[in-house]
Amino acid sequence: MKILLMGNPNVGKSVLFSRLTGVKVIASNYPGTTVEFKKGAMRFCNIKAEVIDVPGTYSLRAVSAAEEVAVKLIAGAGLIINIIDATNLERNLHLTLELIRKANKPIIVVLNMWDETKHLGIEIDGNKLQELLGVPVVATCALSGEGIKELVYKINEAKLSALKYSKLPLWDEIGDIVDSVQKLHHRHHTFLDVLQDISIKPPFSFAVGLTVIILSFFVIRIIGEGLINYVFDPFFENIYSPFILQVSGFLREGTFWHKIFIGNLTGGEIDYRQSLGLVTTGFYVPFGMVLPYIISFYFVLSVLEDWGYLPRLAVLTDRLFHRLGLHGYAIIPMILGLGCNVPGALAVRLFEAKREKFIAATLMAIAVPCMAQTAMIIGVLGKFGGQYVLIVFIVLFCLLQILGNIMNKLIKGQSPEILLEIPPYRLPHIGSILKKLWMRIGGFIKEAVPLVLTGILAVNILYFLRVIDFFAGVFAPVITKVWGLPKEVIGALLIGFLRKDVAVGMLRPLGLTLKQLIVGVTILSIYFPCAATFAVLCRELGIKDMVKSVMIMISTTVIVGFVLNIILTLGGV
C-alpha cells in the first residue's frame, strides 16, 4: 500500500515524513525544500506501507513540475495524508477540497503546527472540521512529535469523503468552512512580528540583510577557525603525527608503499599539506581543513533556514537577479551551492523554464565555490592576508553579474517574475538544527571523503604513469603564456574534475607566488564543476545544454585567468 503525504509547500511534510518512517530528510522553513519525492516505509495495524513525501503543491492543476509529479503519484496511491498548516487554514483548505473531490482516494487530514495556533490566538474546532469535510482530522506538531501516535492509530480510518460539490465558488465555500470552525482572538505583536516587518520593508530590510550576511560570515569564520586551532590541528599534531611517523619508519622512506600512503616527508617531518600521501594529505584535507568549515557553514545555514530568513533575502535580491535573467528565489540554489554544489544543482529545479534552469545552473557552477573549496582557498591564501581571499570572491561575484547579464541578453526569452509565499519567522528548534547538521556532516564524510582519497591516489598514479607530464606539455602554452602559471598546474586542473578541494591543495607544493596562487584558485573555481555536480547538472539540464554550459565555463576560465594575471601584475601583487 502506498501512502502519500501531500500539502502546500512549507507545511512540515518532510518533518512528518521523518517522524512516520524514521528516514532522515532535510527540512527547512521555506517553500520548495523537497524537490524530489522521497520514499520510506512504515507499519500500522500490521500492514506494511510505503510512505511518499510529495513536493509541496498548491493545487492539482499541474502547472509546475512539482505539481505534475504530485498528480502522477496520486494515481498509484492507496491513501492520502493531507497536511495542513493550522495557522493558515484558509489557504491550505484549497488543496484539501481539491483532493477530496478530484483524487478519489481515502483521505486523512492533519492539522500540523498545532502548537503555534495557541501562540497566535487561533482556535480551531477539529471535530467540526472533521464533520464538515467528511474525513478524519488529527492535530499534530511534527517538530515535537505531538499527535503522531494518534495519527498512526487513525490512518486506517481514512476514508472517501461524501462531501457534495457546492454551487459556491471554491474560495467562498472555504470561507464558510473557516468561519464556522475557526475563532481568532486578539493578541499583541510579538518581537518576531516586529522583526518580520522590518526585515521586509526598505530601507531597514537592506540593513537587516547586510547585518545577517556579515554576521553569518563572521560566525562561520570564528567557528571554523576555532575548530581548526583548538580541536583538529592539536589532534593531528599531538596524536596523529607520532603514529604516522611510526608507520613511516616501518614502511621506510623511498619505497613505493611509503610514497602511496605517507607521500613525501619534508626534512623528516610530515607536512600534511604537501606530502600527498593517502593517510597524510588524504586525511588532513577532508578532516583537518574542510570538515571544520563544513560544520560551521552548515550550522549557520541551518539556523537561517529554520528561522525563515532566506525567502526574505530572496525578496531583497529579487531585482538584482532579475537583471541576470532569474528572480530572487535564485538565492536558494546559490546559497545551497556555497555548502556543496550538488544540492545547489538540484535546487535549480525551483525554476520552471529551460532558460532559467540553464542560467541558474551555469552561474552556480561558475561563480559559487563550495565550502570544501572555500576552506582550501582560505588555507592556501589566508596566511598572506584575508584581502587576497576577498579578491577571489569579488572576482567570482563580478563574474556572476557579468555572465548573468550577458546570458540574459543573448538567450531568447524573458526573466521570470517572483511569486513566493513568505513563511513566518520561527524560533529555530535546536534539536532539529543539530539533526540536520549531523545529516549534512554524515553526507560529507560518506560521499566526499572516499572521493578525496581516490583523488589523492589518482594524483600518485597519474604522476607515476607520467600522464600529468604529458598533459602539462600539451597545455603548457595556455597555462604559462596566458595565465602566467607553471605548467605543472595541469595536475591540479585534472584532479579538479574529481574534487576541487584536493585540486586547490595541489597548488601548494608547486611553490607558486602569491599572484600565481590567486590566479590558480580562481581558475580552479570556475573552469569545470566537480564530478558529482557534473553528473547532477547533466541530468537536470540535458546533454545539449550541458555542453553549452561547459563551453561557457571553459571560455570564461581562459579569459578570466588572462585578465586577472594582467591586473594582478600591474597591481604589483
Partner 1 sequence: MISLNKLDADKSAKVLSIDAGINLKDRLYDLGIKEGIVIKKITAASTRGTVVIKLGRGQIALGSGMASKIIVEPV
Supply the minimum distance, in Å, between the C-beta of residue 131 and partner 1. 23
Supply the minimum distance, in Å, between the C-beta of residue 353 and partner 1. 13
Supply the minimum distance, in Å, between the C-beta of residue 99 and partner 1. 14
Residue 13 sits at the vertex; the CA angle it makes with 305 and 98, to the nearest 5 degrees, is 125
Residue 101 sits at the vertex; the CA angle it makes with 98 and 104, to the nearest 5 degrees, is 115
Supply the minimum distance, in Å, between the C-beta of residue 91 and partner 1. 5
Q: Which residue lies nearer to partner 1 by CB, 28 or 117?
A: 117
Q: Which residue lies nearer to partner 1 by CB, 157 or 193?
A: 193
Can you tell me the distance from the alpha carbon of 57 to that of 470, in angstroms, rounded to the nearest whole number? 54
Supply the minimum distance, in Å, between the C-beta of residue 170 and partner 1. 9
139-141-147-148 Cα dihedral, nearest 10 degrees: 120
Supply the minimum distance, in Å, between the C-beta of residue 138 and partner 1. 22
- Nearest Cα neighbor of 150 from 1, 53, 51, 44 is 44
Q: Which residue lies nearer to partner 1 by CB, 258 or 322?
A: 322
DSSP character string of 236-290:
IIIIIHHHHHHHHHHH-TTSHHHHHHTB--BTTB--TTT-B-TTTHHHIIIIIII
Binding residues for partner 1, rule: CB under 8 A, are 58-59, 61, 63, 87-88, 90-91, 94, 120, 171, 196-197, 200-202, 205, 311, 314-315, 318-319, 322, 327-328, 416-424
Q: Which residue lies nearer to partner 1 by CB, 21 or 196?
A: 196
Q: Which residue lies nearer to partner 1 by CB, 178 or 223?
A: 178
Can you tell me the distance from the alpha carbon of 324 to that of 317, in angstroms, rounded to the nearest whole number? 11
Q: Which residue lies nearer to partner 1 by CB, 58 or 299?
A: 58
303: Cα separation from own chain's centroid: 13
Q: Which residue lies nearer to partner 1 by CB, 73 or 178?
A: 178
Q: Is 242 exposed, middle or buried (0-12, 13-18, 19+ CB in 10 A)?
A: exposed
Supply the minimum distance, in Å, between the C-beta of residue 417 and partner 1. 3
Q: Which residue lies nearer to partner 1 by CB, 61 or 481?
A: 61
Supply the minimum distance, in Å, between the C-beta of residue 110 and partner 1. 19
Q: Which residue lies nearer to partner 1 by CB, 58 or 284?
A: 58
Residue 399 near residue 556 (C-beta atoms within 8 A)? yes
Can you tell me the distance from the alpha carbon of 275 to that of 271, in angstroms, rounded to the nearest whole number? 6
Of all helices (H) and strands (E), which one includes residue 232?
A: none
Supply the minimum distance, in Å, between the C-beta of residue 132 and partner 1. 19
184 phi/psi in degrees, rounded to 5: -105, 135
Q: What type of residue sits at position 420?
A: L
Q: Is the peptide bond before 203 cis (omega within 30 degrees of 0)?
A: yes
Q: Which residue lies nearer to partner 1 by CB, 12 or 311?
A: 311
Mention every residue, 6+ apart, whose C-beta is less than 8 A from residue 419. none
- Nearest Cα neighbor of 350 from 443, 434, 422, 420 is 420
Mention every residue, 6+ apart, whose C-beta is less than 8 A from residue 214. none
Supply the minimum distance, in Å, between the C-beta of residue 201 and partner 1. 6
